[in-house]
Amino acid sequence: MKFGPLAPKDALGATAVHSIRQGELVLKKGTVIGEREIVALEAAGVGEIVVARVEPGDVSEDQAAAEIAAASAGEGTRTDRAFTGRCNLFAQASGVLVVDKDAVDRINRIDEAVTIATLAAYKPVVEGEMIATVKIIPFAVSAGARDRAVAEAAKAKPVIRIAPYIVRRIGIVSTLLPGLAPKVVEKTLKITAARIAPSGATIVAERRVPHEQEVLARAIDEVRNAGAELVIVFGASAIADRRDVIPMAIEAAGGAIEHFGMPVDPGNLMLIGRLHGQAVIGAPGCARSPKENGFDWVLMRLLAGLPVTRDDITGMGVGGLLMEIVTRPQPRSEPAPEKGRRVAAVVLAAGRSTRMGAVNKMLAEIGGKPLVRIATEQALASRAKPVIVVTGHERDKVEQALAGLAVRFVHNPDFAEGLGGSLKAGIGAVPEESDAAIVCLGDMPQVDSGLIDKLLAAFDPERGALVVVPSIDGRRGNPVVWSRRFFADLMAISGDIGARHLIGQYAEAVVEVPVVGAAALTDVDTPESLSAVKAEIERA
């Protein structure tokens, strides 16, 4: 690949290495220079442009990324269209991510131009979540490097796959001792039901028996006979030894102990056994808590039908010292809340409106007002403070459309790359004192201040309501309230995807607010949708 500066007239067919913004000219990085671009560059007074030119024996970045990603993708995954040398892989369904780490390492060592990155192996994922990305560093890579990467990926069969959840029926046995309050057992059942819900599993049988070997053995058999495919035993007393009540009861029922203990904290005192081909877990005490612990790591694999061997467990030590995770809020660890949470509004108004043709939809008018002004005025009329507007395409015109309004502007220079950059810019501008942000879309003119305030009223971190979504007949819409706990996740989104997968990923932190009408579902993307919304507003 040739790389270096050229005069525009000599750059025909080459690829722009850097974005250029000069006067009215906006030339994106990665643009292939054609006759039209040469004319525009010269008219803007650009005398030199740094370009890359593919030579014989090279493969373009997008082609190489797409082919390596396709070779790496296995069951339950899909690849997106390659763009700017990157091809992302997504989960097609909920399940557990299985990664061949050795294959990933081998691919990454082939050539510095070729990279593949994945989420952590065995991470539970939801449909639509990005699980891996193949990125070609320069604008082209040698065909030889591409071929070696594809061959390594093909040998793995596959590098990346999703193991779908297959275990649906769970049995729970709780042992009792004097002093163990019934509410502890009830709370444990509730937490366990929430823990397994993302997999589609449910508790089909439950027993409570004295902390004694014989009655526990019978109870384990009873829940199995009631249809449980996996049994979890919560002991009134922690398992201290292989000869303790719970492991001895499993053996008395005809089972065997496969492993006791694990190098994950919390979760050290977990036991895995097997009875008539089915897994039996002796849960550690920390499994009564919604905080992440070693129990989660084993449980989700078993729900996906993946084996959990002694080697698997003893290999969990690196990274096994766990911290609190955002997925499950811990109200008691937070300071006492102030009355009335402080929520900022972020209005996204940066898009290019490609489906509207030559018209910027943010500037299209209803009743003499631009859509973006209608949306922003409603945000200003709500309890959300401050109101931040993210600009991008036709920045000056959008700001002019909002003249006189008490808003804060933040610009997304990479608006053409998609929604992710606008989310990053907007969330990054939220003041430190704000507890949350409600993300509004500038093309939803029927979302009024009343709807926004209704969503803000439902935001309640102390009760686990960390994400608030409007719901119409079971369909989720916009805008959405996001607790500060999720700001890092929102700012990590890239490309032209929204935050819908995060809502699925953190389902237990989401509260739906039923609303009437279609305002929360109606955005303006096309001339036809603009006409329909105009007519509806005029009828009202």
Q: Please tell me the predicted confidence (pLDDT) of residue 494.
A: 80
Give the mean pLDDT of 46-63: 87
Domain extent listing, the chain: 2-53, 58-164, 183-291+303-325, 343-539
Per-residue pLDDT, averaged over 435-458, amounts to 94
Q: Which residue has the higher pLDDT, 534 or 480?
A: 480
Average pLDDT over residues 478-506: 85
Adjacent-strand bridge partners of 469: 512
SS (H, E, C) 205-263: EEEEEECCHHHHHHHHHHHHHCCCCEEEEECCCCCCCCCCHHHHHHHHCCCEEEEECCC
Spatial CB neighbours of 535, under 8 Å, sequence gap ≥ 6: none
Distance, in Å, from the CA atom of 6 to the CA atom of 8, rounded to the nearest integer, reads: 6
Phi, psi of 176 (to 5 degrees): -120, 145
Whether cis (ω within 30° of 0) applies to the bond prior to 386 is yes
Helix (H, G, I), strand (E, B) or coil at 297: helix
Q: Considering only CA atoms, give the Rg of the chain.
A: 28
Residue 440 has pLDDT above 50, yes or no: yes
pTM of the model: 0.59
CA–CA gap between residue 146 and residue 502 (Å, rounded): 33
Over residues 160-188, the pLDDT tens digits come to 999 999 999 999 999 999 877 788 899 99
Question: What pLDDT score was predicted for residue 448?
Answer: 93
Longest dimension (CA), the chain: 89
The pLDDT-based confidence of 487 (bands split at 50, 70, 90) is: very high
Instruction: Decide if 443 contacts 362 (C-beta within 8 A).
Output: yes
pLDDT tens for residues 277-323? 999 999 998 899 888 899 999 999 999 999 999 999 999 999 998 85
DSSP state of 169: E
| Res. 337: pLDDT tops 50 | no
List of E strands, 48-142: 49-53, 58-60, 77-79, 86-91, 95-99, 114-118, 124-125, 130-136, 140-142
Rounded Cα gap, residues 175 and 283, in angstroms: 11
Average pLDDT over residues 129-153: 95
Identify which of 319-328, 360-369, 372-381, 516-525 has the greatest average pLDDT: 372-381
Mean of pLDDT values over 1-22? 86
Tokens 């496969």 sit on residue = 258
pLDDT of 353 higher than 80: no
Of 392, 377, 301, the residue nearest 345 (C-alpha): 377
Task: Give pLDDT tens digits for 104-136.
Answer: 999 999 999 999 999 999 999 999 999 999 999
pLDDT at 510: 87
pLDDT at position 524, please?
A: 85
Return the higher-pLDDT residue of 87 and 503. Answer: 87
Residue 540, pLDDT score? 61
Do the two domains 183-291+303-325 and 343-539 of this chain adopt the same fold? no
369-370/467-472 β-pairing: unpaired
The predicted structure's pLDDT at residue 133:
97
With bands split at pLDDT 50, 70 and 90, how would you rate the model's confidence at 338?
very low
DSSP H/E element including 315: none
Mean pLDDT of the chain: 90
Q: Does residue 325 register a pLDDT over 60? A: no
CATH topology assigned to domain 343-539? Spore Coat Polysaccharide Biosynthesis Protein SpsA; Chain A (3.90.550)
For residue 339, what pLDDT is reported?
43
364/369 Cα distance (integer angstroms): 8
Dump pLDDT digits (tens) for 395-424.
999 999 999 999 999 999 988 888 889 999
More confident residue, 489 or 66: 66
Q: How far from chain centre, in Å, is Cα 304?
A: 20
The CATH fold of domain 2-53: Molybdopterin biosynthesis moea protein, domain 2 (3.90.105)
- Note the residue count of the chain: 540
Q: Which of 280, 354, 289 is nearest to 325 (CA)?
A: 289
In one letter, which amino acid is 402?
A: L
What string of H, E and C letters represents the secondary structure of 454-500? HHHHHCEHHHCECEEEEEECCEECCCEEEEHHHHHHHHCCCCCCCCH
Query: What is 58-164's CATH number, 3.10.180.10, 2.60.120.10, 3.90.1170.30, 3.40.50.1370?
Result: 3.90.1170.30
Q: Which residues contact 195 (CB under 8 A, 6 or more apart)?
A: 290, 296, 299
Q: pLDDT value at position 527?
A: 84
pLDDT, position 17 = 83
The fold of 183-291+303-325 is Molybdenum Cofactor Biosythetic Enzyme; Chain A (3.40.980)
